[in-house]
Amino acid sequence: MTQCGDATDAIDTPALVIDLDAMQRNLQRMAAFASDRNLRLRPHAKMHKSAIIAKLQIEAGAVGVCVQKVEEAESLAAGGVHDIFISNEVIAPHKLARLAALAKRIRIAVAVDSELGVQRLAQALQCAGATADCFVEVDVGQGRCGVAPAAAGALALQVTAAGLHLAGLQAYHGTAQHLRTAAQSGAAIETAVALARAAQASLLAAGLVCPLVTGAGTGSFEFEAASGVFGELQCGSYLFMDRDYAENQVSPGAPRFEHALFVKSQVMSRAVSHAVIDAGHKAYAVDSGPPRVWGRELEFAGCSDEHGVLRARGDALPELGESIWLVPGHCDPTVNLHDRYVVVRGGLAHGQVEALWRVDARGAMA
Ligand SMILES: Cc1ncc(COP(=O)(O)O)c(C=O)c1O
CATH of the domain at 339: 2.40.37.20
CA angle 56, 61, 63 (to 5 degrees): 95
**At 116, phi and psi to the nearest 5?**
-60, -40
pLDDT at 170 over 90: yes
Is 74 strand, coil or helix? helix
Of 217, 244, 271, the domain-final residue: 244
User: What pLDDT score does 282 carry?
Assistant: 98
One domain, residues 228 and 123:
yes
Among 234, 245, 336, say which to mutate for ligand 1: greatest number of ligand atoms within 8 Å of CB. Answer: 234
One domain, residues 220 and 286:
no
Per-residue pLDDT tens over the stretch 1-54 = 899 999 999 999 999 999 999 999 999 999 999 999 999 999 999 999 999 999
CA of 321 to the centre of ligand 1 (A): 37
Cβ of 265 below 6 Å from ligand 1: no
User: What pLDDT score does 246 carry?
Assistant: 96
CATH of the domain at 149: 3.20.20.10
Query: What counts of helices (H) and strands (E) characterise the chain?
Result: 10, 17
pLDDT at 199 over 90: yes
CA-to-CA distance for 317 and 274, rounded, in angstroms? 7
User: What pLDDT score does 339 carry?
Assistant: 97
Residue 250 covered by a domain: no
pTM for the predicted model, two decimal places: 0.97
Cβ of 177 below 6 Å from ligand 1: yes
One domain, residues 314 and 181:
no
Q: Could you tell me which residues come within 8 angstroms of residue 104 by beta carbon, excluding any fewer than 6 positions away?
A: 128, 129, 130
The total number of structural domains that make up the chain: 2
In terms of residue numbers, what domain contains 313?
8-15+257-358
Q: What is the mean pLDDT of the chain?
A: 97
Own/partner contacts of 314-317, CB < 8 Å, gap of 24 or more, are 317/270, 317/274, 317/275
Residue minimizing CA distance to atom 12 of ligand 1: 217
CA of 105 to the centre of ligand 1 (A): 25
One domain, residues 337 and 297:
yes
Q: Could you tell me which residues come within 8 angstroms of residue 132 by beta carbon, excluding any fewer than 6 positions away?
A: 99, 100, 103, 108, 109, 110, 121, 125, 164, 165
Cβ of 235 below 6 Å from ligand 1: yes
Atom of ligand 1 nearest to the CA of 217: 11
One domain, residues 195 and 91:
yes
Residue 199 covered by a domain: yes
One domain, residues 185 and 209:
yes
One domain, residues 221 and 279:
no
One domain, residues 286 and 346:
yes
Residue 1 covered by a domain: no
One domain, residues 215 and 79:
yes
Residue 251 covered by a domain: no
Of 244, 275, 309, the domain-final residue: 244
Residue 363 covered by a domain: no
Residue 135 covered by a domain: yes
Residue 365 covered by a domain: no
CA-to-CA distance for 170 and 172, rounded, in angstroms? 6
User: What pLDDT score does 251 carry?
Assistant: 84
One domain, residues 352 and 215:
no
Sign of CA dihedral 125, 126, 131, 133: positive
Atom of ligand 1 nearest to the CA of 47: 9
One domain, residues 206 and 139:
yes
One domain, residues 269 and 231:
no
β 308-312/275-277 pair status = antiparallel
Residue 354, number of CB atoms within 10 A of its CB: 16
Atom of ligand 1 nearest to the CA of 218: 11
Residue 249 covered by a domain: no
User: What pLDDT score does 48 carry?
Assistant: 98
